[in-house]
Structures are given as C-alpha cells and as structure tokens.
Amino acid sequence: MNQTSRHSGIRNFFEALEGVERIVLTTHLNADGDGTGCQAALVELLRERGHEVRIVNPTPFPDNFRFLLGDPDPVLDAGSEAAAQWCREADLCIVVDTAEIPRLGRVRPMVEALPTVVIDHHPEGTRPIPGVPFVDTGAAAAGELVLDLLREAGGPWTRPAVEGLYVAIMTDTGSFRFSNTSPGVHRAAAELIERGAEPDALHRRVYGSAPIRRFQLLRETLKTLERSEDGGVAWMTVPPEVYDSLGCDPADLEGLTDYPRSIRGVEVAILFRVVRDGIKISFRSNGEFDVNQLARTFDGGGHTRAAGALVPGPMDEARARVVDATIDAVARWER
C-alpha cells in the first residue's frame, strides 16, 4: 500500500466511526502481541473519542499481555451473556490483525450482522471478512497501522496506547530481528520510545519472565523433535497430556518453533498441537520459502515466513499428511 492508499484507509476508518456509540473490538484466535497490543491502543483511542468499546476475542485474552490494558478493564469473555448482549447492541465491529473469517472463531456469528472495519497486514485469504478495509501487507505489524491512526488523531499517547503499539511491533518483528524489520519499523519504535515506551522493561515483561511450566513443556516437546532425511524440514509435537497437566495456555508456546527452525540446514519448521477443533499447525520458514502458500493448501494462511492452519485429526494422520506435503513442497522449491 502506498502513502495515498494509507491515507485513504485512515480516512475510511474515521468515517466509519461517525455516529457510532458502541464498538466490539476483536482479533484472531489465540491472540498474540500484535493483536492485543493493537487492542490496548485502540481502546484508548476510541474512549478518547467518546465511544464505548469492549474487547470480545474468540479465545481468552492472554495473561502475559493483560498488563497492556488500561482501566476499566474492557475485556468480555466471548462465552458470557455480557459479551453476547454487547455484540447484539453494538453499532460497529473492528477486527484487528486478521482479515479472514475462520480466524474469528466463535466470535464470527456474534458480529457478522454488524458493519465492520478490518485493520490488517496479512495477504488476502480465500474467505475475507467483508467490511471497510485498512490493510497494508507491507506493514510489519498491524501496530504500524494503528500507530498511523493515533498520529492522525493526535493521540492519545497514554501508557496503554504507547506500550501496546511498541509490543505489537516488537513481537511481530521478533524483537526487530525478522526480515520485516524495515527502516519505518525502527522509526516507529523510536517515536514510541520518545513517547515513553521502555524497551528493556517491555521486552522483559513479554519475553524475560516466563512461568516454570513453559520450560517443562519445552523439555517434553523437544523429545518429539524429528527431521526429514534431507534435513530441510524439522518438526515437533506438543504432548497434549503434558500441556494439560501443566495447565499451559497458548502463550506458553511462544518461541517453540524457533528450536527446530534453528537447526542447520532446515528450511521449514513445523509445530503440531491438539486443539478443540482439530490439529493446529504452525509453519516457520528459515529463508525465502513461502509458508503462507503452503498453509493455504490446508485452508490456513499468514505471512511468507510465519503461517498456520487447522486440520482435522487424529494427530498421527494429520502430522504425516502435513509433513509429507511440506517435504515435497520444499523439494520442489526453486531457490
């Protein structure tokens, strides 16, 4: 998206807010730092403009990102009557960090009748969410786009807004080490630091303070590590019984795919885990191989180097099918 298109997206966003009182703010299943950070900042922006807003996500708001939120707490559990009532009475839905219907999970039927604004940076999928788009696939994070909105509005530059946007950008760039770390990303980070974000403190809150169960889960998951004969694909499986017995949540899976991806010679790493609706697949590329296209063959999607999909089980069959397809795709890949 060029600057003219960005300005058009910003204008469309604020036009969609005209005459609106109640807003539902949502993001994708298993919200990450980008989705939650954007939500924290958007709540501040929308409240400043006089709107009532609640966060209703398809899966619980992650505990490790809850520190980003201001007061009063805007989160409603999607399974509660309070959330259902809020969605029935809302005037607008804002979706951030996804533009695909399946990624909204159980929230989709709750908001499908509402006018919708979509703020996203992912390539378009096969089942796009209808509505007013503010989408730029060239952005490293949805946080870049929400930062544009706050710039246009002149703030507010509150702690939740500034820290939320910094965390959004930090996490989706892998702490500024991924290939999507552009000059614009560094300029955005510098601006947020000038406005009060503390890089060391925020990195420590997100990455440097993990519960012991995360390391216990890592220990058991590493035991499942496998690699293809040619060494181009490596994969691990999260033991469901260990995950459950330790009381883990999706935040405890953060960074697990970095272990098989860091093996010399590996082009694609895969993480498998059991979820309520099937087998969740996380793909990570170690170079130029496009795992987004690979994920789309399983009705998933994402980015060139990070993508995911949900496939039916059982685990053994799903894993064999996905691994075979990945090995084949990497073998046919023209470098």
Q: Are residues 77 and 189 in the same domain?
A: yes
pTM equals 0.87
Of 183, 207, 231, the position where a domain reaches its end is 207
Q: At residue 116, does pLDDT exceed 80?
A: yes
What is the spatial distance between Cα 107 and Cα 28, in angstroms, rounded to a whole number? 9
Write out pLDDT tens, residues 187-244.
999 999 999 999 999 999 998 888 999 999 999 999 999 999 999 999 999 999 999 9
Co-location of 221 and 88 in the same domain: no
Statement to judge: residues 184 and 287 lie in one domain: no
Q: What is the mean pLDDT of the chain?
A: 95
Boundary of a domain, candidates 207, 242, 259: 207
Same domain, 64 and 85: yes
3-class DSSP assignment, residue 329 = helix
* Side-chain half-sphere exposure of 310, counting CA atoms within 13 A: 11
Q: Of 174, 207, 240, which residue sits at a domain end?
A: 207
Same domain assignment for residues 58 and 75:
yes
Distance CA 250, CA 284 (A): 17
For 255-264, write each residue's pLDDT tens digit.
899 999 999 9
Evaluate if residue 2 carries a pLDDT over 70: no
Asked if residue 154 and residue 99 are part of one domain, the reply reads yes
Mark whether 116 and 65 lie in a shared domain: yes
Q: CB within 8 A of 226, min separation 6: which ones?
A: 234, 235, 236
Domain count, the chain: 2
Q: What is the mean pLDDT of residues 297-303?
A: 88
CATH code at position 279: 3.10.310.30
Q: Which domain holds residue 174?
A: 3-207
Give yes or no: residues 120 and 260 share one domain: no
